[in-house]
Amino acid sequence: MTHAVVDPTTTSAWRALEVDAERIRATSLAEMFADDPGRAASLTYEVAGITVDLSKNLVDGQVMTHLIELARATGVAERRSAMFSGEPINTSEDRKVLHVALRVPPGEKLVVDGHDVAADVAEVLGAMGQFTDAVRSGAWIGATGERLTTIVNIGIGGSYLGPMMAAQALRRDTMTGLEARFIANVDGAEAAIALAGLDPARTLVVVSSKTFTTLETMTNARLVRRWITDALGEEAVARHMVAVSTNAEAVVAFGIDPKSMFGFWDFVGGRYSMDSAIGLSTMLLIGRESFAQMLAGFHEIDRHFATASLEVNLPILLGLLRVWYSGFLGAQSLGVMPYSSDLGRLPAYLQQLEMESNGKGVTRDGRVVSTDTGPIVWGEPGTDGQHSFYQLLHQGTRLVPVDLIGVLKPMSEHRSSHDLLTANLIAQAEALAFGRSAEEVAASGVPAHQVPFRTFPGNRPSTLILLDELTPFSLGALVALYEHEVFTQGAVWGIDSFDQWGVELGKALATTVAEELVGEGAVDHDSSTAAAIARYRAARARWA
């Protein structure tokens, strides 16, 4: 079924929000809290062990009502239903979008076009589980008979960012004696660092590439293959390298046993794949039971997103806030600030999820969009971020909405440190919202000439996201929350959030340039590109 694309700027809800924006600019969060004692309670939501406080955002009840009307006018609920039912909502590639199938509970079905997709997923999960059990128990050993103690994950983009983020977030759930290292960048220095100090005889390599042709991934895979065979011989590849791919022929040609290949599907985009076979390294680290708990967390949010009304549907509300800031208040970026070192790679993971999904300039039917789309996502963990870029957040001239993410349960025995960490999290949200007036600064005894410099205007929006604890379940729920708010944005803007053609051009040109860098003939480029190639050729000649 084809769903017509509605230009959001032509709707009555959009026009109402334009009026709302003028009103919001003329007021402040301080005034909104003063006028509504129940504001925090009415704008706080809880689901799957996550509490989300939206009250420090630049919205009031009227804005929220009009945002919901915008969601209805642009068919967000209908597009949501189309995704869950298996319609090919990735229109530019005519593909289904079924990452939600990856976390259907055991025993449940998800029938699409007469086929139970959930059964296919369960089969792969079962194979992953059996392999995981064998490695963790020591039944699967290396070529020299030793246990495997280090997992090297080779991938790029979604084949790397999700597993790496999960490895750090769930490091307390990792089996003692196992560690993971990650190689993504085609820069050989990254591979050298990842392999430093490792024993090939005790190393398992997971090569993740759907086609088994991805240039960066396969370049690194061949490098690591040589590292293994130089030490252990050709026959060792079958014991030390496994593949996450759908190209059995290429996997076999590489030397990996096809029985050690774990598949996935074209209805799962890379940035939505950390809970597929791409998560094999995650499962190896935390075990199949904990991986199942992570899938359950994903599914809990899936169920909420699929069934809750728009007015209380947390992913939809979060997505609509992104649309509000981008389309009406001029915000160009979104800060993600986890107050947890374990979640330190979450901003990088969300950069791909948000920007590869919604960094689009045309609608699903090929027309130029009529409003700004996806925000620029960035961030670092607190409290170290407070000593670098928070200056701009508090006193700069740009509006930057931020997600402040915390974990209530301490993750170390250093409870006083956790108290201080959480105090900073909560205080930053308060300081961003309410600031400090010139009168307050002057009354504190600050010298008069410093008052302008020590005044904080406030009215800087933030969303406070609190996890009860950081577990596989809550990590899955948190990621799914972001997945579906990304979906909501794209549905409102009328764009295809599930293709990624924008990554292709530079990679295609790089193939040509790579050949020219080691050649001697004339090149056909602009003068700047040609000069860079000549400079590299000259430098390369000096290395010989």
Return mean pLDDT, the chain: 96
109, 115, 414, 507: the catalytic one is 507
Beta carbons of 273 and 162 less than 8 angstroms apart = yes
Q: Please say if the pLDDT value at position 90 is more than 70.
A: yes
Q: Which residues 6+ apart lie within 8 Å of 500 measured at CB? A: 269, 270, 271, 356
Q: pLDDT (tens digit, 9 = 90+) per residue, 353-362?
A: 999 999 999 9
Q: From the CA atom positions of the chain, what is the Rg in Å? A: 25
Count, in order, helices (H) and strands (E) of the chain: 21, 13
* C-alpha to C-alpha distance for 336 and 347, rounded to whole angstroms: 6
Q: Is 93 annotated as catalytic?
A: no
Q: Give me the DSSP letters along 460-480.
A: --EEEEEESS--HHHHHHHHH
* C-alpha to C-alpha distance for 276 and 413, rounded to whole angstroms: 33
Calculate the CA 374 to chain-centre distance. Answer: 14
Q: pLDDT (tens digit, 9 = 90+) per residue, 489-506?
A: 999 999 999 999 998 888
DSSP-derived pairing of the beta strands 115-116 and 150-154? unpaired
DSSP-derived pairing of the beta strands 44-47 and 115-116? unpaired
What are the backbone dihedrals phi and psi of residue 276, each rounded to the nearest 5 degrees, phi first? Answer: -100, -160
* C-alpha to C-alpha distance for 8 and 491, rounded to whole angstroms: 10
pLDDT (average), residues 281-303 = 98
Question: Which neighbouring-strand residues pair with 465?
Answer: 52, 405
pLDDT at residue 504 in the model: 86
pLDDT at residue 506 in the model: 87
Two tokens, residue 542: 């000096």
Q: pLDDT (tens digit, 9 = 90+) per residue, 385-411?
A: 999 999 999 999 999 999 999 999 999
Q: Please say if the pLDDT value at position 363 is more than 80.
A: yes
Supply the pTM of this predicted model: 0.96
356, 380, 485, 516: the catalytic one is 356
Helices 314-328 and 12-25, packing angle to 10 deg: 70
Q: Please say if the pLDDT value at position 237 is more than 90.
A: yes
pLDDT at residue 507 in the model: 83
Q: Give me the DSSP letters along 118-139.
A: HHHHHHHHHHHHHHHHHHHHTS
Q: Please say if the pLDDT value at position 2 is more than 70.
A: no
Q: Is 210 annotated as catalytic?
A: no
Distances from the Cα of 391 to the Cα of 202, 316, 387, 398, 455, angstroms: 47, 31, 8, 11, 12
pLDDT (average), residues 73-86 = 97
Q: Please say if the pLDDT value at position 427 is more than 90.
A: yes
Q: Which residues 6+ apart lie within 8 Å of 47 measured at CB? A: 300, 301, 304, 314, 477
Q: pLDDT (tens digit, 9 = 90+) per residue, 97-139?
A: 999 999 999 999 999 999 999 999 999 999 999 999 999 999 9
Q: Is 356 annotated as catalytic?
A: yes
* C-alpha to C-alpha distance for 382 and 462, rounded to whole angstroms: 14
Q: Please say if the pLDDT value at position 1 is more than 60.
A: no
- Sheet of 402-407: strand order equals 44-47, 50-53, 462-467, 402-407, 333-339, 376-378
Q: pLDDT (tens digit, 9 = 90+) per residue, 252-266?
A: 999 999 999 999 899
259, 387, 413, 504: the catalytic one is 387
pLDDT at residue 18 in the model: 98
pLDDT (average), residues 58-76 = 98
What's 521's DSSP letter?
S
pLDDT (average), residues 83-103 = 96
* C-alpha to C-alpha distance for 464 and 406, rounded to whole angstroms: 8
Q: pLDDT (tens digit, 9 = 90+) per residue, 180-207?
A: 999 999 999 999 999 999 999 999 999 9
Long-range contacts of 498-506 (CB under 8 A, 24+ apart): 498/89, 498/90, 498/93, 498/95, 498/97, 498/269, 498/357, 499/90, 499/92, 499/93, 500/269, 500/270, 500/271, 500/356, 501/92, 502/356, 502/359, 502/360, 503/157, 503/356
pLDDT at residue 3 in the model: 75
Two tokens, residue 112: 């699409």
Two tokens, residue 36: 């509504």
What's 12's DSSP letter?
H
Q: Please say if the pLDDT value at position 272 is more than 60.
A: yes
Least confident of 54-63, 277-286, 507-516: 507-516
Q: Please say if the pLDDT value at position 510 is more than 80.
A: yes
* C-alpha to C-alpha distance for 274 and 162, rounded to whole angstroms: 5
Question: Which neighbouring-strand residues pair with 136?
Answer: none
| Greater pLDDT, 4 or 352 | 352
Beta carbons of 143 and 229 less than 8 angstroms apart = no
pLDDT at residue 508 in the model: 86
